[in-house]
Each structure stands twice: as C-alpha cells, then as structure tokens.
Chains A and B, each alone.
Chain A
Amino acid sequence: MSQHSPSNLEADLATHLGRSRSVAVSGFADRVVLAVHAYRRRQIIRWSSFATSMAACLVATLVYLSGPSEESLIQQTQSLVRSDEASQLNALLGMADDLSMLTPVMDNNSLVVDVIEKNEI
C-alpha cells in the first residue's frame, strides 16, 4: 500500500467526508409532510380522548355532589312501594279479622236445624 504524507491526511479526510456532505433523498419532503399529518392526527385523537375522559369525570363529580342520586331515588321508591304493599296487606288482614268476628255467628246452626236435630227428624 502506498504511503501518503501526514499533511495529506487533513486533505484526504476533508475529501472523504466532503463526499457525503450532502445526501439528497428524492421524495423526502413528501414523507416528512405525511409524517407530520400522521402526528397531527395522533395529537387530535389523544386530545379528544383526554377531553372525553375529563368530561366524564366532571359529569360524575357533578352528579355525586348534587342532591340525591339515582340510586337513592330508587331506594326511596322501593320503600314507598314496600309501605304501600304493607298497607294493602294490612287492609286485607283487617278484613279477615272482621270475617273472623263474624265466623262464630255464621257457624251457629239455624233454629230449624236445631229443632230437627233435637227431634231426630
């Protein structure tokens, strides 16, 4: 291998590196624009997803902080229904009580039956 002068090293290095100083890539600008569009889309999706989550949290907080919740309303309704059922049952039972009071009278034999039974007719 031929030997070069040390002073040539600088020049050879400059020549060697200078060859790759500028590397033009065809269509590179289009690729960059496409990548930027994709980045913008990702950002929009990310922000809309974040905004939706925040809105959901806000609504949940407002519902929690404001008045009776749906669950408590359901409980109140159920208790009202239960009390209504109880009153209906009580009414029925009361009627039964009335019937039971009447029962001895109703169970007594009629006068005709007694006479027949006594005379063994």
Chain B
Amino acid sequence: MANPNYSPSSEDEEDKRLMALVAQGDDHALRLLVDRHHPRLVGYLKAEVGSQTTAEELAMEVFIRVHRAASRWRPEAKLSTYLIHIAHNLVLNEWRRKTRKPTSTLDSAPEPGDQSHESARQVVELEESFDRAVGQLPLEQRTAILLLVQQDMPYEEIAVAMKAPVSSVKTWIHRARTRLRELLKDHYDNQ
C-alpha cells in the first residue's frame, strides 16, 4: 500500500504516533484515533452501503482490524487512505454477502401545498434521485466517485485505497459521471 507521492504532514505524524501507542495496547490512543477518523469513515461507508447501522458496524470492524495490524503497520501512505482501503474491502465482502438495499436518509417529507413546500419537495426528490443514481452505479465506479467527490481524495490516493492503477480510477470516474448524467437526465438538461 505504498504511495510514491506521499509526504507526511503534521496530522500524519500524529496518526503515526497514535498508531505506535495503539500497537502497545494504549486504549486512550485508540480512542483519539477513532475520534479523529470515524466521522469521515462512517460518512463514506454510509454513502456506500446506504444504511447508518451497517456503516457503523463496518467502521467498527475497520478499527478492530487497524488495532490488530497496528504493530505491523508501516506509514507508507496516509492512515486515512489505509482506513478507506480496509473499508472498501469490507464493502466488497458485504456486497458479495447480500444485495444492497438503499435506505433514505430523509426522515420526513414536507406536506404538499404552498410554494416553499413545493420547492422543498423538489429538493427532496432530487436528493432521492441522487441516492438512487449513486446506488445504481457499479461498485468500482461508485467507490471511485465517492472518494473523489465526497472525500476529496486525489486520484493517486484513490488508486492506493482501491489497490488499482490511477488509469483505472480515472476510467471509473469518467464512466460514473456519464452514467449519473443518464440516470439524472430528468432533472438536468440534455447536453
């Protein structure tokens, strides 16, 4: 999992220090590490699997695996990339185990009526269309577009996390954008 362009920042140095402590069985360091990284990890996993509960379970498994591998971990890439790499593998396993059942994160829809509600309804519809469209993408395309757009990861890091060449990542992202335009053509003007 080496990234040739990787140069550690102060945040990475802190991750490295915490990982060394975790390897020695320091629970406080593990807590700090989890607090630093779990929000983005759960966010990514929720977008992947569509369920908050499953996302939390998978994130938990990611941190247990990190704890197990802490003594063997070498800081050749960002810890966040390493976490996403493990999470991606777990998502692959989860998908092999069962078919995806996307769940809406929207708890309540506004009542139809006045213009503000009409506008809110359109926003809700668009949000649901996005969820459905992203959910319909093939796994590699979805992961690649999520890591690029949602997690702001550069292509190189996505390639490391997905254990694939950068060229493949670029292809998946291009195809994902094309597919999303097709799926959301009702909401957007045809090009």
> Which residues of A are interface residues toward B (Cβ below 8 A)?
1-6, 8-10, 12-14, 16-18, 20-25, 28-33, 35-36, 39
* Interface residue from B38, B40, B177 paired with A29 (Cβ < 8 Å): B38
Q: CB-CB < 8 A to A20: which residues of B?
A: 43, 46-47, 105, 150
Q: CB-CB < 8 A to B140: which residues of A?
A: none
- In the complex, besides A21-B150, A32-B60, A36-B30, 20 extra interface pairs with C-beta distance below 8 angstroms are A1-B122, A1-B187, A5-B189, A6-B191, A9-B181, A9-B188, A12-B130, A14-B149, A17-B146, A17-B150, A22-B43, A23-B42, A28-B42, A28-B56, A29-B31, A32-B31, A32-B38, A32-B64, A33-B27, A39-B67
Known: A22-B39, A23-B42. A2 touches B122 (CB 8 A): yes
Q: Can you offer 15 A-B residue contacts whose CB atoms are under 8 A?
A: A5-B188, A6-B188, A13-B149, A16-B126, A17-B130, A20-B43, A20-B47, A22-B43, A24-B39, A25-B42, A29-B32, A29-B38, A32-B31, A32-B60, A39-B68
CB distance B60 to A17 under 8 Å? no
Give the contacts of B84-123 with A (CB-CB under 8 A).
Answer: 105, 122
Known: A23-B46, A36-B30. A1 touches B125 (CB 8 A): yes
> Which residues of B are interface residues toward A (Cβ below 8 A)?
27, 30-32, 34-35, 38-40, 42-43, 46-47, 52, 55-56, 59-60, 63-64, 67-68, 105, 122, 125-127, 130, 134, 145-146, 149-152, 177, 180-181, 184, 186-191
> What is the CA–CA distance of A77 and B39 in the complex, to the nearest angstrom?
75
